[in-house]
Structure 1
Amino acid sequence: MSDDNKDTAGGQEPREEDAREGGARRERIVGTPSPAKEKALLAEDDISAPAGVGEQLDEASMKRAERVVATLFLVAFASSVTFIAYFIGWSGRDGGMHGVLRARESNFWLGGTMALSFLALAAGVTIWVRRLMTSKPIVQERHELVSDEESRAAFARDFMEGAEDSGITKRPLLRRTLLLAAAPLGLAPLVLLRDLGPLPEKRLRHTYWGEAVRRAQQEGKKGVRLVVDGTHRPLRVSDFATPGSMITVLPEGVEEHVPEDEVLTQNAKAVTILINVPADQFKPAKGRENWHVNGIVAYSKVCTHVGCPAALYEQTTHHILCPCHQSTFDATDAAKVIFGPAARPLPQLPLSVEDGYIIATSDYHEPVGPSFWERG
């Protein structure tokens, strides 16, 4: 067997002379330095290249990088100020940013300005670190947690050297624009406290049912008619005569008597579920014997836990279910809580009949929605 065959059979690497024959690509032998170390991975004129890679930048290039960083910091400052100005001023008109109709616009401007501010600030800091700071290796030794005087003095000395290397002490333009860009971001969380909304005072203690009933009584009627949610069709007793049925209803006349930007808010508080409970299983609460119509009873659809719609109904058990956290209410017994985190029953709406239509004779006698809404 020849020497060449021995090398191949023994699993040895081919010699460099053999690898170069026939124009074959040269294979690097394991253990030899990588040729990539001889090349600079970043171009010297690249604005993102670290100052410590390759040749040290001259002062003109560093000045140019300084102006780029300062410009980015100014962009971050302007974006933060725009965020605060829009949140306080422009979002307060025409119902404000808390209205459903303007949610998309406010999210676009608030999210866009804040994202631009963080992006410009991050880009500025990145260019600062890569172009204006030295990139020498730093070794941190492990010692006891309690530092002696010598270690504290060494830390102070290293800190000052780091500050000197970063250029923050000798480049006031960068220092000032950085502080300017960061100042509005520090104030933004305080401004966002407004997003908690104005104090509700007593507005959550009442729904549009009360106002609608008063208007109907001024016209000589006993109460306001219930209309089907979506079709706004008044509901007759004969339309809802099947036991086990459930439907969502609202007070009649919301669209005609409420400003357009308030319709959704009023409907959200007044939304009600109407349930036909079998008369032999219905157990009206004391003092509420006349609040139902032959077993047809009305409860608030807003769950008393955190405000989710309690929109599921089990005909066999007569249980009202909230799908968010599984709070369960007994429709036959004043919507009392039988399971889940809800702390109190669903408020009940007093019902009656007028000219064959189901009507509400008053507002809810207790606040609707989560218990914390009552804090207003």
Structure 2
Amino acid sequence: MGDALEQLTRSGVAIWLDDLGRQRLTGGGLADLARHRHVTGVTSNPTTFTNAVANTDAYAGQLTDLVLRGVGVESAQRELNCFDVRWACDVLRPAYEDSDGVDGRVSIEVAPGLAYDTERTVAEARALWWLVDRPNLFVKIPATRQGLPAISTCLAEGISINVTLMFSLERYRQVQDAFLTGMAGARDAGHDLSRIGSVASIFVSRIDTEVDQRLDKIADEAARRLRGSAAVANARLARRLYEQMLGEERWTSLAGAGARPQRLLWASTGVKDPSYDDTRYVVDLVTDGVVCTMPEATLHAVADHGRIRGDTVREHYDDAQRVLDSLREVGVDYDDVMAVLEKEGVEKFSASWEHLAEILADRLRTGGATSERV
């Protein structure tokens, strides 16, 4: 049968790493995961990037150069991040070529403080696309209301997009519309649609964290039975929406012109509640044609003791719908949960980005060599 990660790959799940830092590149760790752990892509976010810079001196040489060039904090953040992502794109270029451009992708996120500004998001996405200058790049744009038109605009210009911070099913429908609108624009502009990639990243574990807190406050037996059920149910129903989109005329027309589907990506797959199995957000969401991005600890947990049981999504749509219906019946406001998670997600990433700015301001003042530990 092979190891669990191989079984995941054979089941049609693309395994991506949810982490990136300079040490992982200089030490060959990413290449090693690609060779031995079936990793075919990388996602990064402001928090993981901040941790990478703050906890190592691996960036000291580049920081020294930035000091000598008189580069400011904002530009330093962008240049350091682009350097790592460009390098990772080169490491995973073979996976990109072997998959004809489907995998081998590396994501870089627009500054989270731009999440509610459409025009500035588009401008930053253009800049990142140009600076990294690799065909296997994804630019991450959050699925806020203001992010939706930015997604369409960037796709229409031929920029491959990872839609991030997506939680609700209604927002996913809006993301699908933004994707279809953008790809139609790209077709009309004469772009090669087969070269434009996109994923829609639905966050998983954070949903259970928020819903479980609300269930614990309700504290009756019906609420207790629903603990830990919301996130997987929500993701499974997103997959049902994906299948419905593939049957729409708007999509079939684009597919005929060479477009590839916007794959669903399971994000936030690290388990937050220690009472839950540490592989649940991977093994309970196995189905073909999706991406699963994992922190390294989750990746190794799946390799060590994950049980791959075939497709664990498509036979469970009715059960998943019953879970969401039951949550409403016991008093959990689904729409409010998703609104809170989106707001908190933007705030947390923005806080990380601001913390990184503070670290870099200090490092640039001291010549780049002093490392702050967090």
TM-score > 0.5, shorter chain as reference: no
Larger radius of gyration: 1
TM-score by length of 2: 0.20
- Larger relative contact order, structure 1 or 2 (CA cutoff 8 Å, min sep 6): 2
Judging by fraction of residues, say which structure has more helix: 2
